[in-house]
Amino acid sequence: MIIDDAGVFAYLQQLEQMSLAGKPLLFWLGAGVSAWNGYPLWGELALSVHGDYGATEPNYDRMAGQRLLTAGSYPAFFSLVKAANPERYYAILKDAFRPRPTVPAYLRLLTTLQRFAPLRIVTTNVDESLSNGFPPRR
C-alpha cells in the first residue's frame, strides 16, 4: 500500500487522538531507526564482515558466506562467521554496536515518542541510545 503525505498526516493525527484518549500505543522500531543514529543495518554489517573475513580468515568458507548473503540468511551467515573465529566475531559486534552519541534527528525521534503515553516499544535492535532514551518504568 502506498500512502501519500496526506495519508501519513491522517495516521499521525489518529495516533495523537488515541494517545490523548489514554489508549496504549505500541511502536515496533526496526533496524532502520537505529541506523539513523549510525548503527549498521544487518545487510551492511554482513557485507563488511564477509569482505574482511574473506580476505583474512583461513577458516571462513567464503562461498558459503556468499550464498547465505545472497539468500538474505543473516542468522546463518553470522553463525558461519562466528564458527570461523569467535573472538574476532564478538570484537566486530562489540565495535559495530558500541554506544554512540545521539545525533539530532534521532534525538527528535526519542523526544517525539516520549510525548505518547502510555507508550510501549518493541525492538530487536542492539541500540543503547534507544534503551537509554526513556526513563525506567516502575
Residue 7 has a pLDDT of 67
Supply the pTM of this predicted model: 0.72
Give CA–CA dist 82/78, Å, rounded.
Answer: 6
Single-letter amino acid, residue 5: D
Residue 28 has a pLDDT of 85
Q: What is the pLDDT of residues 34-43, one digit of tens each?
A: 888 888 988 9
At residue 104, does pLDDT exceed 60? yes
* CB-CB contact of 31 with 39 (8 Å): yes
- Residue 134 is given by DSSP the state S
Q: Which 3 state secondary structure label does DSSP give 122?
A: strand
Q: Which 3 state secondary structure label does DSSP give 104?
A: helix
In order of 22, 33, 82, 112, the CA distances from 119 in angstroms are 10, 17, 36, 11
Give CA–CA dist 69/49, Å, rounded.
Answer: 11
